[in-house]
C-alpha cells in the first residue's frame, strides 16, 4: 500500500500540517508493508488519479485562498477537477477506484468562503465516485479551541484515516466514520460531514443561544463539555502533549524510513502559523518579531526611532511633521487582529483576521497599564547606552505619545473609546491608524489627537490586490470610511503607502479620494521591504526610490492644488506631507501640534477642532529646506560616514545601484523559480 498525502499551500501552514499528518500515519503503519509519501500538489500527476489503485489512497491536505479558491499551486488542479466534473464526456464514475479523504484548512472569518476549495474538491471527487476512507474534515485556523480548531481537526482526521488504513492493511472493511468490520472487502459509507460547522467561540453567539455543548458530544470523545471545560480542552498542556506526540511521530517515522517527503523546493514560508488571537503558536511568533504581548489580544513594541531619539540621533517622520518626541512615544495596539491580509503587512500574514470582534476582550485599564509597564521595561534597557543622557532617559520613561499603529485594527477593540480616554487622562496623545473597513466604528470613535486612515489604493481592483480584504463589500466600506473621515472635526490624515507596480499609477483616483475624505493631511511614504515570506507578491523591486515618491507627491499635490500643498519632508524614511492650506497661516506652516493644549481641550469637554491645537512647523521640517526634515538639534549617524562625507553623490549613486541590483536579482530568482 502507498499512502499519498497530497498538499497545497500558499504560505506554509498546510505544508506543516501535511507533514505532521503523514508522520503520524507513517508511525502507526510502521511494521506493515505500507509506505507513506508527502507530495506537493505541483509534483503530482493529477491525470493518474482515475487509474489509482484502491490500495493506494490519496489524502488531500488543502488550503483555501482568495475568494475561497485554491492557492496558486493548486489552481490547475481545481480547474482539472471542475472540467472533469462538468464534462459530459467524462464518465461520472471515473474516480471510482480512488480511495481518499480531505483535510481542508481555512479561516471561518471568510464566512461562506470558509474552506470552499477543499469542500469543492471533496464534493467533486465524491460525485465522480471517489470513495472516502474517512470523513473529510475542515479546520478553522481562526479559532483556538473546539472541534474545528486546527489541532483538534488534524488529530481527528489523522486518527480516522489511520483506523481505516490499518483496517485495509488487515484486510478488514472500513467506513468513513472510522469503524471497521470483519468483511474482507471494504465497505464504505460514502458520506461525510463537516465537524460541527456551527461551533463558534464568540460571546455574541453564546448570547444567541449557544448552550456550551459541542455537537452531540461525540466530538469530544463522548463527553459533553461546557464552556469552562473548553478552556481546559484547549489548554497549553494538552497542546504541548499533542505537539510532543507529533514530534515523536515524525522522528520515529523518519527513523523507520517508511515516510517519503516529495515537494517542490521551498514551497512556502516558514513553520508555525497562526490560529487564534494569541494562541501559544502566535505568541511565540510575535515574540520572535520583538512584540511584547499584553493579555490575550494586545501588543507593544519599541520602535527604532524611539531608540534613535533616546540617543539624540534623530526622530521619526512624526517628529518632523507633527512635533512628536519619538523617544517618548509608545507604539502599541489593542487588537492584533484586523480584516485584511495586506501584502505589505509587517506580521508576514500571521495575523488573526475577522470581520468583527469575536474574542475575549481584556479590560482597557489592564492593557494601558500592561503596555506602559512593558514599554518602560524596554526603555530601561537603554540606560547607559552611549548618547542616552539621564534627562532623555527620564523623558523616555515618561510616555507622552501613543501610536496605535503597530499592527492590527485598533478600532475593532470594543473598548477603544475607554482606552483612548485612559491615555488622555495620563496626558498621552493618541495617534490611531485605521484600515478603512469599519465606517460605523470610525463614526463612534471619540475625538483623538490625530486619526489616520490607510488609503492603500485608488481603485477597487488594486485595493483588493494590495489589502486582500475579508469583506466582500470592501470597496463600499472603504468609501464609507472616507465619508466618516470627512465629518470628523479633529485632525485627520490619509496615509498612502506607495507600492511600485501596484498603486503608483492611480494619481487621479487618489485625488478623487482626497476630495471625498477631505483630510487635513496626506502622508505619502514608499513601502518598506521587511523580508516578505512565502508567496507574497512583493519584492525589493516594489520599493520606490525617494525621488519617485517625491515625483508622485508633486503630481498629486498638483491635482489637488486648489486646497492642498506639500508642506514637509522626511527624506530618511522616504516620507512627504501634503497639508490643507488652512494650516499655512500668514505664510508659516502649522502642521505641529500643541499637545498640552489638546489635553486641556479634551479635559474641558468643550467642542473643539483641529485648528484649536496647532503649533508652527520649524523651518528644518518644511519641504524644500536643505536639512530634509532632519532636526538640527540632533546628530545624524551615517553608517558609512567617511564615504558619505567624501563623496555624497557618489555614495548615493552606489546605494541606488545596490538597490537596483538587489531588485534585479530578486526578479531573476522569481522568474527562475516560476520556470522550475
Ligand atoms: C489573501 C488570503 C485570502 C484568504 N481567503 C480565505 C478564504 O476565502 N477562505 C478561507 O477559508 N480561508 C482563507 N484564507 C485563510 C487561509 O486559508 C489560512 O490563513 C491558512 O492557514 C493559510 O494556509 P497556508 O499557509 O498553507 O497557505 C485566506 C488567507 C489569505 C492570506
Ligand atoms: S490592516 Fe494592518 S495588520 Fe491588518 S493585514 Fe493590513 S497591514 Fe497587517
Residue with the larger pLDDT of the pair 421 and 74:
421
pTM: 0.64
The DSSP bridge partners found for residue 152 are: none
Q: Tell me what the mean pLDDT of segment 472-488 comes to.
A: 96
Q: Is the CB of 349 under 6 A from ligand 1?
A: yes
Pocket of ligand 2 (CB under 6 A): 338, 340-342, 345, 347, 351, 407-409, 435
pLDDT band at 599 (very low <50, low <70, confident <90, very high): very high
Please give the distance, rounded to the nearest whole angstrom, from the Cα atom of residue 71 to the centre of ligand 1.
8
538 CA distance to ligand 1 centroid (A)? 18
Which residue's C-alpha comes closest to atom 6 of ligand 1?
A: 65
Q: CA angle 270-275-279, nearest 5°?
A: 100
What's residue 545's pLDDT?
80
**Rounded CA Rg of the chain:** 28
Secondary-structure class of domain 2-203+243-262 per CATH: alpha beta
Please tell me the residue having the least CA distance from ligand 2 atom 6: 342
- Could you tell me if the CB of 12 is within 6 A of ligand 1? yes
Q: What is the pLDDT of residue 60?
A: 97
Give the atom of ligand 1 at the shortest distance from the alpha carbon of 71.
Answer: 27
Res. 218: pLDDT tops 50: no
**Measured from the CA of 347, which atom of ligand 2 is nearest?**
8
**pLDDT the model gives residue 67:** 86
Q: What atom in ligand 2 is closest to the CA of residue 349?
A: 5
Q: Pick the range with the lowest mean pLDDT from 18-32, 274-288, 459-473, 622-636.
A: 274-288
Is residue 247 predicted with pLDDT exceeding 60?
Answer: no
Which residue out of 6, 19, 105 has the highest number of ligand 1 atoms within 8 Å of its CB and is therefore the one to mutate?
105
Q: What's the longest Cα–Cα distance across the chain?
A: 94
Contact 96, 190 (CB under 8 A): no
User: Which residue minimizes the CA distance to atom 8 of ligand 2?
Assistant: 345
Close Cβ partners of 254 (under 8 Å, ≥ 6 residues apart): 23
User: pLDDT by residue (tens digit) across 355-405?
Assistant: 888 888 899 999 999 999 999 999 998 888 888 899 989 999 999 999 998
The arithmetic mean of pLDDT across residues 8-30, rounded, is 92
* Most confidently predicted of 204-218, 419-433, 455-469: 419-433
**Higher confidence at residue 270 or residue 251?**
251
Could you read off the pLDDT of 572-596 as tens digits, one per residue?
A: 888 999 999 999 999 999 999 999 9
Q: How many residues does the chain have?
A: 676
User: Same fold for the domain at 2-203+243-262 and the one at 280-637?
Assistant: no
Domain borders along the chain are: 2-203+243-262, 280-637
pLDDT band at 669 (very low <50, low <70, confident <90, very high): low
Considering every ligand atom, which ligand is closest to the CA of 453?
2
Q: What is the pLDDT of residues 313-344, one digit of tens each?
A: 888 999 999 999 999 999 999 998 888 888 77
ipTM surpassing 0.95, yes or no? no
Kindly give the distance from the C-alpha atom of residue 263 to the centroid of ligand 2, in angstroms, as a whole number. 30
> Each residue of 51-98: pLDDT tens digit?
899 999 999 999 999 889 999 888 878 878 877 777 666 677 889 999
- Answer whether residue 281 shows pLDDT above 50: yes
The string of DSSP letters for 366-408 reads HHHHHHHHHHHHHHHTTTT-TT--HHHHHHHHS--EEEE-SSS
Backbone angles phi, psi at 494, to 5 degrees: -90, 130
Please state, in angstroms and rounded to a whole number, the distance separating the CA atoms of residues 187 and 183.
Answer: 8
**280-637 — its CATH code?**
3.20.20.70
Residue 229 has pLDDT above 50, yes or no: no
> Ligand 1 in contact with 66 (CB < 6 A)?
yes
- E strand intervals along 468-559: 491-498, 521-526
Query: Does the CB atom of residue 10 touch ligand 1 within 6 A?
Result: yes
DSSP tag of 543: S
Residue with the larger pLDDT of the pair 173 and 204:
173
Helix, strand, coil content of the chain in percent (nearest 5)? 45, 15, 40
Its sign, for the CA torsion 593, 599, 600, 606, is positive
Amino acid at each position: 500500500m502507498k499512502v499519498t498525502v497530497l498538499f497545497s499551500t500558499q504560505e506554509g501552514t498546510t505544508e506543516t500540517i501535511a507533514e505532521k499528518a503523514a508522520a503520524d500515519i507513517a508511525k502507526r503503519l510502521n511494521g506493515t508493508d505500507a509506505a507513506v509519501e508527502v507530495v506537493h500538489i505541483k509534483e503530482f500527476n493529477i491525470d493518474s488519479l482515475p487509474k489509482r489503485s484502491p490500495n493506494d489512497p490519496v489524502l488531500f491536505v488543502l488550503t483555501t485562498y482568495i475568494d475561497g479558491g485554491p492557492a496558486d499551486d493548486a489552481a490547475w488542479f481545481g480547474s482539472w477537477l471542475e472540467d472533469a466534473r462538468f464534462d459530459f464526456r467524462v464518465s461520472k464514475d471515473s474516480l471510482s477506484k480512488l480511495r481518499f479523504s480531505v483535510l481542508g484548512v481555512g479561516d471561518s472569518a471568510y464566512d461562506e468562503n470558509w474552506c470552499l476549495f477543499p469542500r469543492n474538491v471533496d464534493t467533486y471527487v465524491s460525485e465522480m465516485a471517489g470513495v472516502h476512507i474517512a470523513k473529510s474534515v475542515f479546520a478553522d485556523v481562526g479559532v483556538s479551541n473546539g472541534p474545528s480548531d486546527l489541532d483538534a481537526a488534524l488529530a481527528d482526521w489523522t486518527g480516522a484515516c489511520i483506523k481505516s488504513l490499518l483496517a485495509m492493511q488487515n484486510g478488514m472493511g472500513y467506513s468513513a466514520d472510522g469503524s471497521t468490520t470483519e468483511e474482507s472487502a471494504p465497505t464504505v459509507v460514502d458520506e461525510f460531514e463537516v465537524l460541527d460547522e456551527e461551533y463558534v467561540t464568540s460571546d455574541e453567539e453564546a448570547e444567541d443561544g449557544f448552550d456550551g455543548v459541542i455537537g452531540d458530544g461525540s466530538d469530544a470523545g463522548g463527553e459533553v463539555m461546557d464552556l469552562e471545560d473548553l478552556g481546559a480542552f484547549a489548554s497549553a498542556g494538552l497542546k504541548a502533549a499533542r505537539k510532543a506526540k507529533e514530534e515523536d511521530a515524525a522522528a520515529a517515522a523518519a527513523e523507520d524510513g517508511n515516510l517519503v517527503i516529495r515537494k517542490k523546493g521551498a514551497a512556502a514560508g516558514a513553520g508555525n502559523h497562526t490560529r487564534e488571537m494569541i494562541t501559544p503558536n502566535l505568541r511565540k511568533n510575535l515574540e520572535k518579531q520583538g512584540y511584547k504581548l499584553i493579555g490575550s489580544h494586545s501588543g507593544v513594541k519599541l520602535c527604532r526611532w524611539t531608540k534613535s531619539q533616546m540617543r539624540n540621533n534623530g526622530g521619526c517622520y512624526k517628529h518632523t511633521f507633527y512635533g512628536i518626541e519619538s523617544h517618548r512615544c509608545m507604539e502599541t495596539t489593542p487588537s492584533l487582529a484586523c480584516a485584511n491580509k495586506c501584502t505589505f503587512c509587517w506580521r508576514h500574514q500571521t495575523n488573526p483576521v475577522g470581520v468583527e470582534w469575536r474574542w475575549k476582550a481584556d479590560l482597557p485599564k489592564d492593557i494601558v497599564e500592561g503596555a506602559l509597564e512593558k514599554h518602560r521595561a524596554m526603555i530601561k534597557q537603554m540606560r547607559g547606552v552611549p548618547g542616552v543622557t539621564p534627562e532623555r532617559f527620564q523623558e523616555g520613561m515618561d510616555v507622552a505619545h501613543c501610536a496605535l499603529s503597530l499592527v492590527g485594527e485598533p478600532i475593532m477593540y470594543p473598548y477603544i473609546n475607554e482606552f483612548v480616554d485612559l491615555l488622555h487622562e495620563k496626558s498621552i496623545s493618541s495617534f490611531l491608524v485605521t484600515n478603512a473597513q469599519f465606517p460605523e466604528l470610525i463614526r463612534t470613535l471619540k475625538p483623538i489627537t490625530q486619526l489616520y486612515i490607510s488609503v492603500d489604493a485608488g481603485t477597487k481592483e488594486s485595493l483588493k490586490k494590495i489589502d486582500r480584504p475579508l469583506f466582500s463589500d470592501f470597496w463600499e466600506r472603504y468609501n464609507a470610511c472616507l465619508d466618516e473621515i470627512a465629518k470628523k472635526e479633529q485632525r485627520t490624515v490619509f496615509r498612502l503607502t506607495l507600492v511600485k507596480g501596484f498603486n503608483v499609477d492611480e494619481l487621479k483616483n487618489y485625488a478623487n479620494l482626497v476630495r471625498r475624505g477631505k483630510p487635513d493631511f496626506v502622508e505619502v511614504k514608499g513601502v518598506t521591504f521587511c523580508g516578505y515570506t512565502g508567496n507574497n507578491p512583493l519584492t525589493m523591486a516594489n520599493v520606490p526610490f525617494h525621488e519617485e515618491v517625491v515625483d508622485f507627491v508633486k503630481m498629486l499635490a498638483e491635482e489637488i492644488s486648489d486646497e492642498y500643498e506639500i508642506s514637509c519632508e522626511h527624506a530618511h524614511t522616504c516620507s512627504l506631507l501634503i497639508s490643507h492650506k488652512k494650516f499655512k497661516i500668514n505664510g508659516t506652516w502649522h502642521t505641529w501640534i500643541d499637545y498640552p493644549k489638546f489635553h486641556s481641550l479634551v479635559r474641558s469637554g468643550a467642542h473643539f477642532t483641529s485648528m484649536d491645537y496647532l503649533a508652527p512647523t520649524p523651518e528644518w521640517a518644511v519641504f524644500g529646506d536643505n536639512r530634509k526634515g532632519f532636526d538640527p538639534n540632533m546628530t545624524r549617524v551615517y553608517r558609512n560616514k567617511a564615504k558619505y562625507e567624501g563623496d555624497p553623490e557618489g555614495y548615493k549613486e552606489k546605494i541606488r545601484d545596490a538597490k537596483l541590483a538587489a531588485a534585479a536579482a530578486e526578479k531573476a530568482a522569481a522568474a527562475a523559480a516560476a520556470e522550475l
